[in-house]
Structure 1
Amino acid sequence: MREDVELWLVRTGDPPAAAEVAVLDAAERRRAASFRRPAQAALYVSAHAALRHLLGERLGVLPADVPLRREAGGRPVVAGQAAVHFSLSHSGDLALVGLAGRPVGVDVQLVPGVTTAELCGRRLHPAERAELAARPPADRAEGFARLWARKEAYLKGLGTGLRRALNADYLGDGGPGRPGRPAGWTVLDVPCAPGHAAAVALADLPGAAVPAAA
């Protein structure tokens, strides 16, 4: 992976510490309060507090003063800081934060049940579906989680999220006879806790554009 990306895995306590809640803005606090499960709210608070601390250290401001906003397409950005890129994901009991000097996307996924993996897998690129079908049945859910994490990390890096068709890009394991992965991006698996899969996508150039749909 390129030298200009930094990754952090975040775990949480339950309930979240008051100091973590204190650095969140009003919208983040409302979002945290909307979770029905306390563990989900705690992870959200810890992940967003960690992001604010990391960005604040990089920008030289207090965590509560980091000016976060969303672009028209929904991508979260630091207002007025075009050279500071970040991405955040949380699932299960783990969160992943990525910071870089160019577009970056990260994703962490709790390995789903077999039925969920099969249903969601139908939306993937044909070559990805073929790879999953070739796996032993006991390995398909974990293989799906790794593939889905790469897919979401890449789409977050593009800034499209799931608005872009899931079958438009190939993020499979590669090999002879397989399509190439998207040009202009480096996409790698990230080691993480058992029962989870994670990935990071980093643009090779600062001004990476969204490719045409396949």
Structure 2
Amino acid sequence: MIEYVKELGEAVAVTGAPPAPARPPGPAGPAVDVWSLDISRQVVGGHPVAGALPLLDDAERERAARLLRPADRHRYLASHVGLRVLLGGYLGLAPQEVALVREVCPGCGGPHGRPAVAGGSLHFSLSHSEDRAYLAFAAVPVGVDVEAWPAPAAVADVVGTLHPRESAEVRALPEPARPAALARIWTRKEALLKGTGEGLGSGVAEPYVGSAPDPAAVPGWSLLDLPAPHRYAAALAVAAA
């Protein structure tokens, strides 16, 4: 499905049609494009982050304005510049011309479901944690997540909210191994919930994804771990063709 995770740096040209129709993971070739971005950068895709506001829509500018810490605001702006540069490249548009909407929430029917491109010609997912962002693009629903390893205190706070089998798996590990295991579970689960559009509103107990080196099977979805920097975990979920 994925040949590699591509790095989006200061300048990048993205050309061509959207990715081919998605296929289940296998040797047939990539069906999903995944990009990684260092969001501490001052320039993303040839655009200075400090001058990013004209590239964004009203909702993005409003969200950026609500972030009080300059570092948080910079990371948000950098990740959304990267998103718009890549979407524009796939769709043949300038970054500021990409129209973003929200799909219907599958849980309550409200207008706050998955972010999407108007017209639905390309599916995407964006995740960022600390100074790293991952962006995924496909012809079918897709979710991506990246997380820095949590602190031991955070592991203790969160482990009880997981599926009972996952909680038992983490607690059975030596304490130094638990942050990596929790990050592995969390990224798999959040990537899947982003792909479905459900999000974290109903908790993280279901579905079971496991902490083993390979994710547990989830009906209707292909779930896999992605390469990630040291002390990070990342995962991808793609709707089955």
Give the helix-richer structure, 1 or 2.
Answer: 1
Amino acid at match of 1:49: V
Deviations, residues 117-145 of structure 1 (Å, cap 9, x unaligned): 12111111111111111211101012101
The DSSP-based 3-state class of the residue aligned with 1:162 is: coil
Amino acid at match of 1:64: Q
Task: Confirm whether residue 49 of structure 1 aligns to residue 99 of structure 2.
Answer: no
Amino acid at match of 2:102: R
1:171 CA displacement: 0.7
Quote the sequence identity (%): 44
Corresponding residue for residue 178 of structure 2: 140
Deviations, residues 51-98 of structure 1 (Å, cap 9, x unaligned): 1111111111111011101123121011112x4110001111111100
User: 5+ residue gaps in structure 2?
Assistant: 2-24, 43-47, 106-112
Corresponding residue for residue 100 of structure 1: 138
Corresponding residue for residue 23 of structure 1: 55
Structure 1 residue runs of 4+, over 4 Å off? Answer: none
Corresponding residue for residue 31 of structure 2: 4
Tell whether the 8 Å contact from 1:155 to 1:164 is kept in structure 2 after alignment: no
The DSSP-based 3-state class of the residue aligned with 2:167 is: helix
Corresponding residue for residue 16 of structure 2: none
1:12 CA displacement: 2.4
CA distance in 2, matches of 1:136, 1:72: 42
Corresponding residue for residue 78 of structure 1: 117
TM-score (norm 1): 0.87
The DSSP-based 3-state class of the residue aligned with 2:68 is: coil
User: 5+ residue gaps in structure 1?
Assistant: 206-214
Corresponding residue for residue 37 of structure 1: 69
Cα–Cα, structure 1 residues 132 and 36, in superposed 2: closer, same or farther, change >3 Å? same
Cα–Cα, structure 1 residues 108 and 64, in superposed 2: closer, same or farther, change >3 Å? same
1:174 CA displacement: 4.8
